[in-house]
Structure 1
Amino acid sequence: MQAMAAWRHVLVTGASSGLGRALALACAGPGAVLHLSGRDAARLEAVAEACRAAGAEAHPRVFDVRDAAGMAGWIGGAGRLDLIIANAGISAGTGGAVEPASVARGVFETNVTGVLNTVLPALEAMAGQAPGPDGLRGRVAVIASLAAFVAAPGAPAYCASKAAVQRWAEALDASERRRGIRLHAVCPGYVRTPMTDRNAFPMPFLMPPEEAARRTLTGIAAGRTRIAYPLPLYLGARLAGALPPGLRAAVFNRFPAKGQG
């Protein structure tokens, strides 16, 4: 990816496993400076070591994205940042059962508030930077999901949280372009990660995290505001999301899901 030369300074949240790990490794290389966060110190250090082995300078920090002050201090003190990937997130499928209040709050606190805690200080930091080789002050990618387009009863908080950050990133991109900053809403389908390993239902077009990282970074390099893949599953999600609510509920009741991607 030739445009990667413009992304020498990259920050990734949720980098200790899954898609975050794959994104960190895909950005690693000689001259790259990576700022990586996660909640598992041992796994995060292992990712950092793998990035260093690829020639990058890696700085791991154990952080919970729900910590607004900690995130603001970390991002504000990182120096120049060409690309920030707000990847950290959690899931909590109910299999169609009632979603406990504590679960719903936890999902929103990580998937929505955690994204705000990452993106808002990132925008302020980038606004004060000089433009890079690509003519931009920086790029911010928000990892949403194809679940953003479907109100699935088996994962109400997850779907709603991903819809919120997908819409927010896309709306924000229009205004932030005037400051020389681009936003990207990344909407993957099923990616093989520890999160999806718990799913007990068929996951069509399941892909390894390395392939998802490649598609994500290719979409960012192409300047796409919405990066949704794979196409057949994206079209299916849009179709399901367009069904009348009553019909959609009947379909999900007929074929209940036991989790989500």
Structure 2
Amino acid sequence: MESSYPWRSVLITGASSGIGRALAEAVAAPGVALHLSGRDAARLGEVEASCAARGADVRPRVLDVRDQEAMRGWIASAGPLDLVIANAGVSAGTGGRTEAPAQARAVFDTNLGGVLNTVLPALEAMAAQPPGPDGLRGRVAVIASVAAFIGVGGAPSYCASKAAVQSWAEALDMSERRRGIRLHAVCPGYVRTAMTLGNRFPMPMVIGAEDAARRTLTGISRGKTRIAYPFLVYAAARAVGALPPGLRAAIFNRLPAKGAAPDLR
């Protein structure tokens, strides 16, 4: 079965579960080369088998996005790339308490450092490629979150790291268009994945990983710089994020501690 998407060479980080796995399976088809990375060899092997059954040429690599040199070498060896998706990320809440320094560093190292380790070498490789049929040298998508638009005390490093990559991708898109490269900031709301299974609070308008992958890929194919969904969750995040910080702090401090950490994705 032919792919409903135009890309023939796709690289995805964090592809062993959740949105990453759903993205890989959605683009897998005969004639598609899939470069997939993850830290869990067994789970990555399952995704490899699933995508290969769909006819894709799957090229898995077990590695950590925090390893700058390993990421650079992997991307440089992948050959021409139509689409790169920097999906790998971690979520961590504080339960309303002060965030531990080690947790903050771990979240930033993956959610920000891992994105830099993916996107920068991808841009370098794409800039050297000839334009494709659509006139572009390639596309790069960064998986951020609607948490990028609302900083809350329950997940400070998560919100801040997602805000950084969302803003960076959108700003970078302005200049990279001149080189024939597009960037996309993907901002999902709550998605039903292993990352959110432990959430002990309501997750309004939660969607499945397959739905998230479809919305993401549709937005990329349509050339949207910011791909935020579901709309009502996005709109609510923007509205609450626009409140004065003091008012947001007062609201947050009245919430039960167990429900204070919005672990999105």
TM band (smaller chain): over 0.9
CA distance in 1, matches of 2:82, 2:4: 11
Task: Give the Å deviation of 1:82.
Answer: 0.2
| Greater Cα shift, 144-153 or 251-260 | 251-260
CA distance in 2, matches of 1:42, 1:2: 26
- Does residue 250 of structure 2 align to residue 250 of structure 1? yes
CA distance in 1, matches of 2:255, 2:131: 50
Q: Return structure 1 stretches of 4+ with deviation > 6 angstroms.
A: none
SS at match of 1:240: helix
CA distance in 1, matches of 2:244, 2:8: 46
Counterpart amino acid of 2:263?
Q
CA distance in 1, matches of 2:134, 2:236: 34
SS at match of 1:22: helix
Matches within 5 A, 1:140-159: 140-159=140-159
**8 Å contact 1:94–1:258 — kept in the other structure?**
yes
**8 Å contact 1:95–1:259 — kept in the other structure?**
no
Matches within 5 A, 1:80-99: 80-99=80-99
Task: Give the Å deviation of 1:93.
Answer: 0.3
Counterpart amino acid of 2:114?
G
CA distance in 1, matches of 2:249, 2:261: 15
2:196 matched residue in structure 1 = 196
Matches within 5 A, 1:172-211: 172-211=172-211
SS at match of 1:254: coil
**8 Å contact 1:12–1:87 — kept in the other structure?**
yes
**8 Å contact 1:72–1:118 — kept in the other structure?**
yes
Counterpart amino acid of 1:45?
G
SS at match of 2:197: helix
Task: Give the Å deviation of 1:95.
Answer: 1.2
Task: Give the Å deviation of 1:138.
Answer: 0.2
RMSD after superposition: 1.1
Among all aligned residue pairs of Structure 1 and Structure 2, give the percentage whose two residues are the same amino acid. Answer: 70
CA distance in 2, matches of 1:76, 1:3: 27
Distance 1:191 1:135, change over 3 A: same
Task: Give the Å deviation of 1:3.
Answer: 6.6
Counterpart amino acid of 1:260?
D
Give CA-to-partner distance per residue, 1:67-93, whole Å, 9 cap, x none.
000000000010010000000000110
Length-normalised TM-score, structure 1: 0.98
Task: Give the Å deviation of 1:255.
Answer: 2.2
CA distance in 1, matches of 2:165, 2:144: 6
**8 Å contact 1:3–1:221 — kept in the other structure?**
no
Counterpart amino acid of 2:240?
A
Task: Give the Å deviation of 1:169.
Answer: 0.1
Task: Give the Å deviation of 1:134.
Answer: 1.7
Task: Give the Å deviation of 1:254.
Answer: 1.7
CA distance in 2, matches of 1:190, 1:174: 28
Give CA-to-partner distance per residue, 1:16-59, whole Å, 9 cap, x none.
00000000000101110000000000100110110000010001
1:66 matched residue in structure 2 = 66
Length-normalised TM-score, structure 2: 0.96
- Does residue 105 of structure 2 align to residue 102 of structure 1? no
CA distance in 2, matches of 1:179, 1:96: 44
Give CA-to-partner distance per residue, 1:215-237, whole Å, 9 cap, x none.
00000011000000000000000
Any gaps of 5 or more consecutive residues in structure 2? Answer: none
Counterpart amino acid of 2:181?
I
2:5 matched residue in structure 1 = 4
Aligned residues: 260
1:221 matched residue in structure 2 = 221
CA distance in 2, matches of 1:8, 1:135: 15
Any gaps of 5 or more consecutive residues in structure 1? Answer: none
